[in-house]
Structure 1
């Protein structure tokens, strides 16, 4: 997990509204039991033609766009199904942040819980930032996570994050890592709970033991 105050990198414009998770990560790439190889499926039908060949005119296929880390996208990015693979595929491809006017609600939670940074800006700022991103010489974008500002060649704008999501980004935590920072409090709560209600402690294990004893 990365831990940083400012995320900066090469940006690419993806001016498509309502780009859903089925397009971001098509269903044929969901057959594995782990996260490996999802970068190959990212935006597959946009990156490839009907014969499976790379489309030379698609932005992320252009040689000058190699190493893109930030997408500037259209409204309602990540709408549709709840597949978390869309987030994993973006990250495996090298995308660390997406900037858009709005996001699908479930996608937003999946992304922020996995440390894919999502930034919402007004449409006017997005339009200007897309224009910057379309020119290789002005395609660099910096996102100041500590001070909640994003800057490109022609845009300097503030954005909002919840305190929890900001902390996760700054400290390099996914949702499990964040939960583990409360390990002592969780253990203390569990101890109080079992002390007050000892009859429910390990009830499943004790039930199974009793059933096994009855079978013997």
Structure 2
């Protein structure tokens, strides 16, 4: 997993409340088992017209938002099913963080396990961020737990365990491998008793 310390990027505002995982990545695209290749289907039913051409009225298709890496959204982001593919699709598209009013617990966990930083900010802060010009960058400083934009700093909370994992780029496998020596010693001892 890629470490997340500081990230500077542009934003795209999708201020809808209650964006669920089926809107993030429709179930018809959940046939892959690898974590890649889902970005092209992110917000599929909103991004594309029935003939699969880009919907010119959807914000991610607007030229000024191409390459945005920080999504600004409403309340209750990632509700619905527990599909981890939603975090994979956001990451594969190029997002490094989602700033919302709240997240479903399962989506929040899936995001952090995959290196996608979920940030909770109040509506007033999100409205200010959403109103920034498309080309203006903001910086997320995870060690300081701040979003820095337009001369202002917005503080956010994050559990210390998740912060440690993200800052150090540690997923569950990497954490297990940190104990590889001890695991090997344990396995050697167990062989002696068999």
TM-score by length of 1: 0.81
Deviation string, structure 1 residues 28-82 (Cα, Å, up to 9, x no partner): 1112232332112110011012332211121111112111110011111000001
Aligned mates of 2:188, 2:84 — CA distance in 1: 34
User: 2:35 touches 2:85 (CA, 8 Å); kept in 1?
Assistant: yes
Deviation string, structure 1 residues 175-215 (Cα, Å, up to 9, x no partner): 322332233455566678x49xx5xx7xxxxxxxxxxxxxx
Q: Structure 2 matches for 1:159-178, cutoff 5 A?
A: 159-178=156-175
Provide structure 2 residue ranges, at least 5 long, that are not aligned to the other structure.
none
Shift of 1:173: 1.8
For the residue of structure 2 that corresponds to 1:64, the secondary structure is: helix
Larger CA Rg, structure 1 vs 2: 1
Who is 1:82 aligned against? Answer: 82
Who is 1:182 aligned against? Answer: 179
Aligned mates of 1:75, 1:188 — CA distance in 2: 48
For the residue of structure 2 that corresponds to 1:136, the secondary structure is: coil
User: 1:11 touches 1:71 (CA, 8 Å); kept in 2?
Assistant: yes
User: 1:114 touches 1:175 (CA, 8 Å); kept in 2?
Assistant: no
Q: Structure 2 matches for 1:43-192, cutoff 5 A?
A: 43-132=43-132, 135-138=133-136, 140-153=137-150, 155-186=152-183
Aligned mates of 2:63, 2:100 — CA distance in 1: 24
For the residue of structure 2 that corresponds to 1:112, the secondary structure is: helix
Q: 1:55 to 1:143 in 2, by over 3 A?
A: same
Provide structure 1 residue ranges, at least 5 long, that are not aligned to the other structure.
202-216
Aligned mates of 1:123, 1:186 — CA distance in 2: 47
For the residue of structure 1 that corresponds to 2:143, the secondary structure is: coil
Q: Which stretch of structure 1 is more off in the superposition, 34-43 or 71-80?
A: 34-43
Aligned mates of 1:129, 1:154 — CA distance in 2: 12
User: 1:76 touches 1:101 (CA, 8 Å); kept in 2?
Assistant: yes
Query: CA RMSD of the aligned region, Å?
Result: 2.1
Q: 1:22 to 1:97 in 2, by over 3 A?
A: same
TM-score by length of 2: 0.90
Higher relative contact order, chain-length normalized (CA < 8 Å, sep 6+): 2
For the residue of structure 2 that corresponds to 1:126, the secondary structure is: helix
Aligned mates of 2:4, 2:118 — CA distance in 1: 15
